[in-house]
Copies of this chain bind each other. A is one copy, B any other.
């Protein structure tokens, strides 16, 4: 798959799909491409030749190579009257994503739509691949959970091209600030606030916070954590905040917590606020190994109120995430955008506004009064 000519081919294709090359615009000459990619002319010709054969480009001897106009052609490759909606999420198989997807899938399916699922595994390259597919083939709309939403996105041009091609999209869980899309989210800041406030109201003052930092939910939940401290006039110990990237989620938080628990006992925090339930379950093992009792020795609170709150001997206090409801609302909005497109403008204003779900605290047995109180 990673042949040189394929790399060149994909690079050119990307520039067509993200709108850098407009129809009938001249693209770089063969010698320029040779320099750009450091390959031989033959390799360039292979790449361009393939794209010509597939209708992406056309060549004119002596003049150059040009971007083809695919606007009419798309009709042919489209699936006719088939109704397709794509759902792109970071994961389809882990944690609460299945629930979110089910909510959307059930609704769309009932309305007679085909649902195609793609998971990016939190990788921008995959996200780009899927956006290319959606731009190339016929889709009526896309429900997207952004990949690494806290980091600036290299595929912004693809989203803009979706707008140009009049393909509606909705973002769920998070959104890219640059785009200001229609979005269905949870009020993560308030969720973080509720989480921490719950612990503070129980009497905790030394609260460890674990937050992911490469999606936009993490920083927002952390903001809520900080706000709750300020609102209750409690000083924040900077060393009580641990952040981690998605790639490190299985190691860093666990080893960091271990280090803290093995540190001087006096400085040991009495409670932990976690980015989500998945992390909470992982941290439980660290606490168990040290034979600390939950919640007597230490309180811990999750986020998302997933099925994981219920699988362990300690039932987790958590913050309710709408999950399948979020998926369903996204699906409903999507379909009203689709029908809007067809009925050209007649808009139910209600349907075209973003939704922010209100988080709720769900108290179970993992949180309690601090020990020395």
Contact = CB atoms under 8 A, between A and B. Distances in A.
Interface of A: 1, 49, 53, 77, 79, 81-82, 92-94, 97-99, 101-102, 105-106, 109-110, 114-119, 129-130, 133, 137-138, 281, 284, 288, 308, 311-314
Interface centre among A92, A93, A116, A133, by most chain B C-beta atoms within 10 angstroms, is A93
Contacts of A101: 92-93, 117
Given A105-B119, A311-B308, A313-B312, A92 B98 contact: yes
A288 B138 CA distance: 53
A304 to B, nearest CB: 14
Contacts of A49: 49
Given A79-B82, A93-B101, A288-B313, 10 more contacts: A77-B82, A79-B137, A93-B98, A105-B119, A109-B118, A109-B129, A109-B130, A114-B116, A114-B137, A115-B117
Contacts of A313: 284, 288, 312-314
Contacts of A314: 313
Contact of A93 (B99, B110, B138, B281): B99
Given A114-B137, A312-B311, A119 B102 contact: yes
A344 B190 CA distance: 60
